[in-house]
Amino acid sequence: MDPNPPVAELAPEDVAYFQRGTWENPRFWNRLGGQPDLQGKKVLDLGCGHGRLCIDMAQAGAARVVGVDLNERLIRFAQQNLQLNYPELAERVAFYCIDIAHLDEGDFDLMTSKDTFEHVMDLPAVLAEMHKRLKPGGRLYAAIGPLWNSPFGDHDTIKRLIGINLPWAHLIVPDHLVLRATARRIGRPLHSYRDLGLNMLAFRDYKRILYNAGFEVEFFRPNCSRHPVVRVFSLLRHLPLVGEYFVNNLYCILRKPI
Ligand SMILES: C[S@@+](CC[C@H](N)C(=O)[O-])C[C@H]1O[C@@H](n2cnc3c(N)ncnc32)[C@H](O)[C@@H]1O
């Protein structure tokens, strides 16, 4: 991908999504115990999307910020937005449409990944690549969700078909019905929800994967939210057998041992 594409007009829907970071990013950090000191740090954001968290981290003093994502359109937006609206940060921020396995850069002090791990198809492999590129003692801050078994774990797939959000419908309605209708809607064949970018991992899968990725787990908190329903979920998630269905999101801090 051309690292300096011609600057074009930014699509309003992309700008609107980028602006959601104004409230989403402070919430991300708050739920993880506060934004760490980023002054002079070299940071990586995996699944950077439109790039707002990268911009915020550069504005908070990070010396170098790398955002990686597999979506070419989003990376093009992030690059153009950087050139157009944040030229003063352009020396310190880089966006790449690349699989982290091919990223030719390491020694990061800190990593972030916000609302992305539920879309990563081979999470153990990606965590191994992140681990490799993180300095000993460096931390990975991650927010994951909504999780597949949570009420809206299909990320609105069914809502886009019927117009309303029915909790847990994706676990009840046979997959082939949803996938057939969605394939017609988007005009490409679908064999699994994975073809829509959802890895379908359950809470217990994340727990196993995150605790076995070679990091020290410093912080691991399901159901981070002040929403009253999620607060009730925090009680229900301890129920035997069905607790899994009441884990909406997961926030964690992983530290690479020294
Ligand atoms: C829901 S978006 C979140 C984007 C951004 N972090 C935010 O909070 O707005 C998830 C992003 O993860 C990206 N993604 C999925 N798998 C990835 C992978 N293996 N490596 C990098 N990015 C990935 C997708 O392309 C998508 O842009």
Reported as a single tens digit per residue, the pLDDT across 186-239 is 999 999 999 999 999 999 999 999 999 999 999 999 999 989 998 899 999 999
Q: Judge whether residue 4 has pLDDT over 80.
A: no
Q: Is 120 in the pocket of ligand 1 (CB under 6 A)?
A: yes
Q: Is 69 in the pocket of ligand 1 (CB under 6 A)?
A: yes
C-alpha 47 – ligand 1 centre gap (Å): 3
Ligand 1 atom with minimal separation from the 74 CA: 27
Level-2 CATH architecture, domain 12-149+198-255: 3-Layer(aba) Sandwich (3.40)
Tell me, what's the pLDDT at 242?
94
pLDDT-derived band at 9 (thresholds 50, 70, 90) equals confident
Mean pLDDT of the region 31-35: 97
pTM of the model: 0.95
Q: Domain segments of the chain: what residues?
A: 12-149+198-255, 157-196
Give per-residue pLDDT as tens, 80-127. 999 999 999 999 999 999 999 999 999 999 999 999 999 999 999 999
Q: Is 75 in the pocket of ligand 1 (CB under 6 A)?
A: no
Tell me, what's the pLDDT at 7?
53
C-alpha 50 – ligand 1 centre gap (Å): 9
Give per-residue pLDDT as tens, 45-80. 999 999 999 999 999 999 999 999 999 999 999 999
Contact 67, 93 (CB under 8 A): yes
Tell me, what's the pLDDT at 8?
61
Give CA–CA dist 207/113, Å, rounded.
Answer: 16
Ligand 1 atom with minimal separation from the 197 CA: 15
Give CA–CA dist 101/105, Å, rounded.
Answer: 10
Residue with the nearest Cα to atom 12 of ligand 1? 47
Name, in order, each residue with C-beta under 8 angstroms of 205's C-beta and a sequence gap of 6 or more: none
Tell me, what's the pLDDT at 77?
97
Residue with the nearest Cα to atom 13 of ligand 1? 47
Q: Judge whether residue 2 has pLDDT over 80.
A: no
Tell me, what's the pLDDT at 152?
96
